Amino acid sequence: MQFSVTTDSPATRATGCVILPLFENGPLAAATQSVDESCGGVLGRLVESGDASAMPGRTRLLPGLEGIAAERVLLTGCGKEDAFNAKALNGAVAAAAQALGETGVTDATSYLTRGGAAGVDAYYAARITVAAASGALYRFDELKSDAPENAKLSRFAIAAGASGDASEAERGATHGQAIASGVSLARDLGNRPPNVCTPSHLADEARALAERFGRLETEVLDEDEMQNLGMGALLSVTNGAEEPARLIVMQYRGADDKTAPVAICGKGITFDTGGISIKPSAKMDEMKFDMCGAASVLGAMAAIGELQPPINVVGVVPACENMPGGRATRPGDIVTSMSGKTVEVLNTDAEGRLILCDAMTFASRYEPRYLLDVATLTGACVVAVGHLYTGLFANDEDLAADLMEAGKRSLDPAWRLPVDDEYGEGLRSNFADFANIGGRFAGASVAAQFLSRFVDGTPWAHLDIAGAAWHPSGKQKGATGRPVPLLVDFLLNLK
């Protein structure tokens, strides 16, 4: 979908549809009032009669009103005006886009932010609008033989006020489009079945991004190269799989070589049976989403490649399957990581931390300013924060604060959880440096503690997206593309 910014009046805007806000318990918003006056008070009468609702998520489509240039008007409920913040704006735009997606409208102009939103400037209003509209119209139909017709809405304009606001709105729309494209890529990768989205498929997608964007390079290491690097932890996970593992290394160079990069590692288990510690069969199909950390790294790198900011970023994706088999790692096996530390594998279903620890050691070679990892790592994190938040663990207060702020700005929230040294006590092993699992409690913090042992003093954050990465049921079942918005916002606002 193409996005643009306009300063046209809603009454004179020539478009397929103008999207206007309705607020509860108050006068009509300025944009809505302008159209109402031009069409003889029709909108006001609809509100007074109760035939148009200001409740959040409600819409009313009106065709062919006399006195205005637009072919249609979509009244969109926005709730209480004093509570119309970024989250409410996101919901209103999504509701409007969904409503129009079910019609023959091909272009629309949104005036939902013309009067502003609480705590949201022109830049973020436009960015949120683009992300919300794109997300609402996302469909994954590429493998359906009789896919429904895509929404016809293909052009979407955002109304801004003064010329200065228009300039900022254009910048926000540009950033929003890049983020939305990255989110869509991450969702596509997550939604593809495991017989399609293999480690080699992820590698091909990463190579395609390097061909598409300047300053972005991709290198793919095979199992022999990983063996030569001493990646015994990562390779122990792929022992039972027929699909070969890949280590995908993406480098975006937007600054000089003296500028330390941000390194982001993404867990890429393209299917997770649990290995010898096999999972229950119920909902095992959802384990295709165990590579959503990898998908988010590719999505973030795609957005950065499109926007070309003056920073350096390294994305590292360890990609493999975790399968049972005659060569599969057994509970009790001891493996040697790339760092030289040995790990007793007490549970082969705690495999994400094994591939990540070698990826993090590899990423440390780039002497990063910050080291981030993103993973669908623990069910314990889902129990702790559900599907609303990403679990955030960090060894650096400033880094944690910046990531939290990025989550708030991008409506991709994270919640900080503890990673104290005491959580590592359960990892003690009589036979290796430590084990890959601890006791029954605080599983998300124990897993983060495991990863922290491979950081070596670099400011580090671990994003556990086990709850945030996909919707488990309903019409929205599938990958969410999170935390691409958080990651890109963080990278664009590096201090």
* Residues annotated as catalytic (active site), given as ranges: 279, 353
Return the ∠ at Cα 68 (arms to 63 and 72), rounded to 5°: 20
Single out the residue of 459, 283, 277, 462 nearest to residue 375, CA to CA.
462
Q: What's the rounded Cα separation, in Å, for the pair 129 and 91? A: 9
Cα separations in angstroms, 130 against 48, 301, 361, 389, 396: 31, 19, 37, 22, 32
Cα separations in angstroms, 385 against 38, 293, 415, 463, 479: 49, 18, 8, 12, 18
Q: What's the rounded Cα separation, in Å, for the pair 353 and 288? A: 17
> Tell me, what amino acid is at 254?
G
**Strands of 326-458, DSSP E:** 334-336, 342-344, 370-375, 390-394, 414-416, 434-435
CA 104 from chain center: how many Å? 30
Q: What's the rounded Cα separation, in Å, for the pair 184 and 174? A: 15
- What count of other Cβ atoms lies within 10 Å of the Cβ of residue 411? 20
DSSP 112: T
> Tell me, what amino acid is at 34?
S
DSSP SS3 for 418: coil
Instruction: Say if residues 368 and 294 touch (Cβ distance below 8 Å).
Output: no
